Amino acid sequence: MAATELLFPQDFSLDSCKIVTALGQPYEFRAMLLILEYFEDLYSNFITGSITINDSVGYISKLAFSGHDYLILGYSKPGSDIKIEKTFRAYKVSNRHIVNNQNETYTIHFCSEEAILSEQYKVSKSYPNTKISDIVNDIVYNQLGTSNTKFLATNSEATAGLRDIVIPSMKPLEAINWLCTQAISATTKTTGTSYLFYENVNGYNFKSLQSLFTSPVYGVYKYEPKNLNMPDDTRVQDLGLEAKNVIGYEMVSNFDTLDMINSGAYANQLVAIDLLSLSYSVNNFDYLNYFTKAQKLNPYPLLANTENRFNQTDSITYQAVLKTAVTNTGDSSKNAYIKTKQPSNKDVNIETTIPYRTAQIPQINAIKYKISIPGDPFMTVGNVITFNLPELTRTTDDKASDAYYSGNYLVTAIKHTIDVEGKFMTIMEISKESVPNQYINPDNSLQAWKLIRGR
């Protein structure tokens, strides 16, 4: 584990694994480490993990673990100048087992400090005439006390428009997640909804899904078992290539039309009721129309223009998911009286945020794989990777990539695992909302199609 240069793809250097208890002294636990698991999730606000210890000294008592302890993890990749050190809160001890008279094992669970702090405070504060991104920044910096090195300004994507918001006594992270549902990107504007607040190797991030889709590709990963296409094992070992080799993969979810319809990914409808102007508006989400103007991981939509027996495509059956919510006459130019009397009235924009977010979240989970790669401590959620899945057909050459399941994916969850032998594995959950090749659009006028749909 302490190699200074990369000898194997999964080489990894755990520089420190220290626990600081109420005694105030850091104690190095690397030698006693049985397994380290480290989790990142795009839909979780913070990093969690655990270390399992083989303790022959009785530290659990001597160090007075109380759940108010800290774990300092320092790690690096051999051959890289980048060293990472993160401090976590060790909040729980579990699975304590006696191995023999001199040894016992137990697991110490850790999480980011903000996870604890967020449970201890409430935000009840008004933010008049403020961008949502500025509200999030204020909560992170001032309500959670997070440093600007852990939440870089560049990792906070600016939102569009000014709002009058009163945070109604929410936990800080709860408030941020609530704000995520209302935010619209200043960059991608109307399609830039579905903000996420998550922690990864770079610290905290407040970004929209649409902006993540435009991230540069972190790497091209290919499933290529070593016994394929290398009959003579004559290839020179390329550690760089092997590091990008997918050791194993598992399909978590494929397209599920019923689920996609049910979740509103293809079409949904919002009836927005304006209590000031005593009016309402019907706002329809049309996936195929949306796709033409949205940022995407791959160039083609998940949906063909197949019609049902009522000659409608799945992207215009809006009432598949019907929502209704309260809005205001934020666009005061539509109402001269409100414009005159209450010019400060701000648009809450639910006509955009609710239909788009309703669709975008299930879309990104439409095609999801779990893949395992040699440990890469810099792989993190929010990255975009290219995953080439070989086509399961016999060819004499390198396998061609699957036309629909290959392509760019967003890393949505990660689990880094280091075992007692120092073997480092990274297991990722990757998802995408689009495909690299166009699904076949049927000729809906064909009699055969009509007959089948009519049954």
Partner 1 sequence: MDRKNFIGLDGFVWFMGVVENRQDPLKLGRCQVRCFGWHTDNKSLIPSADLPWAQPMLPVNGGDLSATLKEGDYVIGFFSDGDSAQFPIIMGALPGVPNQAPNIGKGFSDQRNSDELASSPRTPDSIFFYNTGAGVQLSEKSTASIYPNILNEPTTSRLYRNENIAQTSVGLKRTSQDKQVPTGFGDFWDEPYPAYNTTPPFNHVVETESGLVFEMDDTPGSERIHMLHRTGTFFEMYPSGTKVEKVVKNNYQIILGDDMIHVMGRVNITVDGDTNILSRGDVNLIGGNDLNARIAGAINLSAGEGFNIKAASFNVDIAHGVDIKAGGNMNADAADIYLNSGLATAAGIPDAPYRSNKNNVPFSEETVPVPNLAAVALDELTPEQGDALKSSPQYGVSSANTSDPAVQQALANTSNLTANTDASCIVISQLTPSDTCVKFIKSKEGISLKAYVDPATKAEPITIGYGTTASALGRPVSLGDAISQQQADADIAMVIGKVANILKTKITAQCVTQGQFDALVSLAYNMGVYGAAKTDVMKLTNIGDKQAAADAFLNLVHAAGKVNNGLVNRRTAEKALYLS
* Subset of residues 170 to 189 that bind partner 1, contact rule: CB under 8 A: 178
Q: Which of 303, 354, 367, 411 binds partner 1 (CB under 8 A)?
A: 354
52-67 b/e with 16+ CB inside 10 Å = b? bbbbeeebbeebebee
Among 238, 341, 420, 441, binds partner 1 (CB under 8 A): 341
* From candidates 326, 400, 420, 452, binder to partner 1 by CB under 8 A: 326
Contact yes or no for 206/153 (Cβ under 8 A): no
Our finding on whether 384 is near partner 1 (CB under 8 A) is no
Which of 21, 194, 358, 386 contacts partner 1 by CB under 8 A?
A: 358
Q: Which of 32, 39, 65, 37 is nearest to 51 (CA)?
A: 37
Exposed, middle or buried, 99 (CB in 10 Å: 0-12/13-18/19+)?
exposed
Regarding 276 and contact with partner 1 (CB under 8 A), the answer is yes
The residue (of 131 and 370) whose beta carbon lies closer to partner 1 is 131
Smallest gap, in angstroms, from Cβ of residue 276 to partner 1?
Answer: 7
Residue 7 interacting with partner 1 (CB under 8 A): no
* Distance between CA atoms of residues 403 and 79, nearest Å: 35
DSSP 154-177: GGBPPBSS-EEEEEEEE-HHHHHH
Nearer to partner 1, 7 or 275 (CB): 275
> Between the CA of residue 255 and those of 329, 359, 396, what are the distances in Å?
38, 14, 30
Pick 195 or 213: Cβ nearer partner 1? 195
d(CA 238, CA 242): 6
**What is the crossing angle of helices 172-180 and 113-120, to 10°?**
100
Return d(Cα 177, Cα 119) in angstroms, integer. 14
Binding flag, residue 44, partner 1 (CB under 8 A) = no
If the CB atoms of residues 43 and 337 are measured against partner 1, the closer one turns out to be 337
CB of 180 to partner 1, least distance (A): 13
Annotate each residue in 139-168 with x if it binds partner 1 (CB under 8 A) or - if it does not, as one string. -------------------------xxx-x
Tell whether residue 273 is a contact of partner 1 (CB under 8 A): yes
* 103 contacts 133 by C-beta, under 8 angstroms: no
Shortest distance, position 164 Cβ to partner 1, whole Å: 7
Number of residues that bind partner 1 (CB under 8 A): 31
DSSP state of 189: G
Q: Which is nearer to partner 1, 67 or 168 (CB)?
A: 168
Contacting residue, 142, 148, 337, 420, with partner 1 by CB under 8 A: 337
Q: Residue 381, Cβ neighbours under 10 Å: how many?
A: 27
- Gap between the Cα atoms of 361 and 393, Å rounded: 33
- Near partner 1 by CB under 8 A: residue from 30, 131, 171, 323: 323
Nearest-approach distance from CB 364 to partner 1, in angstroms? 16
Rounded Cα distance between 88 and 83, Å, is 16
Residues 80, 84, 88: CA angle, nearest 5 degrees: 160
441 lines the binding site for partner 1 (CB under 8 A): no
What is the C-alpha R_g of the chain? 26
Judged by beta carbon, residue 211 or residue 328, the one nearer partner 1 is 328
Establish if 270 lies at the interface with partner 1 (CB under 8 A).
yes
User: Do residues 272 and 323 touch, judged by C-beta distance below 8 A?
Assistant: no
Residues 110-129 that bind partner 1 (CB under 8 A): 124-126, 128
> Should residue 330 be labelled a site residue for partner 1 when binding is judged by CB under 8 A?
no
Q: Which amino acid belongs to residue 204?
A: Y
| Residue placing its CB nearer to partner 1 in the complex, 50 or 263 | 263
Q: Which of 7, 275, 282, 420 binds partner 1 (CB under 8 A)?
A: 275
- Of 37 and 274, CB closest to partner 1: 274
> Is residue 262 part of the contact set for partner 1 (CB under 8 A)?
yes
| Closest of 166, 169, 205, 163 to residue 182, by C-alpha | 163
Candidate list 63, 209, 267, 321; residue touching partner 1; CB under 8 A: 321
Map residue 244 onto helix, strand or coil.
Answer: coil
CB closer to partner 1 out of 333 and 445:
333
Q: Is 452 in the site for partner 1 (CB under 8 A)?
A: no
Judged by the rule CB under 8 A, the positions of this chain that interact with partner 1 are: 124-126, 128, 164-166, 168-169, 178, 262-264, 270, 273, 275-276, 321-326, 328, 337-338, 341-342, 348, 354, 358
